[in-house]
Amino acid sequence: MPRHEVHEVLGELCGISRSLMKELNVFIDSVRDPIFHDANRVIRAAHWNPEALLYIASIVYRKWGKMGLKAFLHHHLLDYTETLISKGRYGAIFKYAIEDIRRSGFVRLAKNIKTGDLRSLMGLLDPRSYGLIDLREDEFTEQFSIILYGRFVAKVLENIVTDFSFLIKSIESHGYERILGMWRPKHPKELKRLLMEEATIKISQSLIETSKELKRCIQSTIHKFIQLKLAESLSS
């Protein structure tokens, strides 16, 4: 995962002070209880499990308020981006790009004609769907960060807004069972207790607001992070 110094520098791009990010870094990466550490970053198909998020967000909000939630989400989304470029399909593209830049000074990739998605040249590709493109290091950084933001990080934030807007409407109508039925929580009794707390609506509103704020700025964070990771990999 990114070093704490990286979190602190890149957090400033979204208006998060280094001192606040430092506190959240220590909190997130020092908690040993699996209920509260990275186990709560349960993201599948760009969807953060809202039950897991609500538990830890409640703790963060009570101690650091809305800006603390913003720093918390920023930290986890940067960690999520690192996971994306380290594993799976996009990890393979990133590794391929590093090797290609070392070898030739640019990256040759296949680009889907319709979707704009990138693929490495490893494996079979349908020439009717893909065209070859050569990218300089800065061009690859730009296009790769746009894809990671649009297909993953932005969708995580959009889903937080959707989930917690639903939660607020359901709580206001006392539809607790509706939430339990929709979310299918691992700990239904604990979740219902939390839903009935007065502060939960305010926490949910803050999650929605900070997600919208981050959506407007975090693409630049991802771009800078990819730039840093490329430079670090190419110099090693």
Q: Confirm whether 113 is domain-assigned.
A: no
Q: Confirm whether 128 is domain-assigned.
A: no
Tell me what pLDDT residue 44 has: 86
pTM here? 0.91
85-115: pLDDT as tens digits: 999 989 999 999 999 999 999 999 988 888 8
Range of the domain at 38: 4-106+137-235
Q: Confirm whether 101 is domain-assigned.
A: yes
Q: Confirm whether 117 is domain-assigned.
A: no
Q: Confirm whether 8 is domain-assigned.
A: yes
How many domains does the structure of the chain reveal?
A: 1
Beta bridge partners of 99: none
Kindly state the percentage of the chain with pLDDT values over 90.
70
For 40, residues 6+ apart whose C-beta sits below 8 A from its C-beta are 52, 53, 55, 56
SS3 at position 3: coil
Other CB atoms within 10 Å distance of the CB of residue 94: 21
Q: Confirm whether 118 is domain-assigned.
A: no
Q: Confirm whether 213 is domain-assigned.
A: yes
| H helix runs in the chain, sequence order | 4-11, 18-30, 50-84, 88-104, 137-148, 154-172, 176-183, 188-195, 199-235
Q: How far apart are CA 168 and CA 202, in angstroms?
A: 9
Whether 137 contacts 28, CB under 8 Å: no
Tell me what pLDDT residue 114 has: 87
Average pLDDT, the chain: 91
Tokens matching residue 30? 């020092």
